[in-house]
Amino acid sequence: MQTKKDIAEAHLGLSKAYQKLGDYPKARLHASKALNMAIETDVLDEQYLAKVLLAQIEEKSGNPSRALSYLKKSNALKDSIDKVNKAQELEILNIQFENQQNKLAIAELETDNIRKDGLLQINQQRTRLLTLLSIAFLIALASLLWVYLLKQRTNKSLEDINSRLEESIEKYKESNNQLEQFAHIASHDLKSPVKTITSFARLLKEQSAHKLDKQENTFLEFIQSSSQNLSHLIEDLLDYSKVNSQKVKHSAIQANTLVQDVLDSVSDAAHRKNVNLSIEGALPDFRGDKIKIGRVFQNLITNAIKFADAEKASFVKIQGQKVGNTIEFKIIDNGIGIKETKTDIFKPFTHLNQSPGYKGTGMGLAFCKKIIEQHGGEIEYDSTYGEGTTFTFKLQS
């Protein structure tokens, strides 16, 4: 029968295999399971290996902040392992010292008996005793040398991993900053010509719509609609490029008040789609950037309303609880759900539904992820197509 330690080792093996195949979600899943089992069995070595593996996976998945977090945790765990190893080394030395004392005591007793049989036997016993002590000393010395060499090799490996990871993170940050600057400049420069197109299309429709035939008016409406959509997209892109440059302003947040303000602001949209909005119980208070976290609630709740199922009584529920040192919020709906997809729905310009009735720029969930990660948290979702979706985000309390 397999022990939890054996199962944890198996999960680590599977995680490494999936990582080589480039399937990072499965690699992350098995590494996380290995970490949980290692924590349950209090096996420090397995915990350390799992966290180092998770750091590598997050690095390759393009999540440097989470990779750095796991790396810091693995370094902290390494220090604990080193302390345990040192304690074990001292314990080995104490045991060896006690064994030597016992052997010396035995040798003294044997010497007293041997004296009766003559000096020759005494010399033989002394020689044997010295030989045994020399062997024991050599074994102890070899053990200590092996432990030292193993620690040196482990430290060198960790230093190499740290160096490569820090270098990758710096390159990623530099590339990301350049991309955000480009997006900001490009979006800003596009605002003026798009605004001009929108304005002239409106003027053309107001002054000359009666001179145009049906098809020409249709073309004009298409120009207006497309230019307005492009204008909204540019605004969202500008806002998205500003998120990282705007520091998180932490303050005490009363969650119930914040969420109720958001519900009040979207109540008209909810009423038009016959969606019931509710807060389930008392939400836990926490510290964070009130404006940015409010934006997260606004985006998630607005999405839930937009994708409500018109064929049934729809609802959106907001729940929250404190779990250890983490604050967890859930936005639950019984809307149309999300079809199973391999696409990362939190990437910019990702549309959950391409139907004409569900307009959007595809930036809302990308905003949410970036803001939550700025707060050191994480966001995920669970959905069944045709039944509804639950978005969950976690923050440090």
CB atoms under 10 Å from CB of 5, counted, come to 16
Give me the pLDDT at residue 254, please.
95
Tell me which of 377 and 213 has the higher pLDDT. 377
Give me the pLDDT at residue 87, please.
58
Mean of pLDDT over the chain = 79
What is the per-residue pLDDT across 272-285, written as a single tens digit (0 to 9) for each?
Answer: 999 999 999 999 99
User: In Å, how far are 159, 319, 355 from 265, measured between CA atoms?
Assistant: 51, 18, 26
Tell me which of 397 and 383 has the higher pLDDT. 383
Residue 104 backbone dihedrals phi, psi, to 5 degrees: -65, -40
What is the per-residue pLDDT across 289-340, written as a single tens digit (0 to 9) for each?
Answer: 998 999 999 999 999 999 998 888 999 999 999 998 999 999 999 999 988 7
What is the per-residue pLDDT across 45-104, written as a single tens digit (0 to 9) for each?
Answer: 787 887 888 888 888 888 888 878 888 877 877 776 666 666 566 566 566 656 666 666
Does 267 score more than 80 pLDDT?
Answer: yes
CATH class label, 251-396? alpha beta
Strand order in the sheet with 326-333: 275-279, 314-323, 326-333, 388-396, 378-384
Superfamily of 4-171 according to CATH: Tetratricopeptide repeat domain (1.25.40.10)
Range 356-380 average pLDDT: 83
Give me the pLDDT at residue 278, please.
96
What is the per-residue pLDDT across 160-201, written as a single tens digit (0 to 9) for each?
Answer: 787 788 877 776 666 556 555 555 555 555 556 666 777 777
Here the tokens at position 373 are 């990660």
Q: How far apart are the first and last CA of the chain?
A: 40
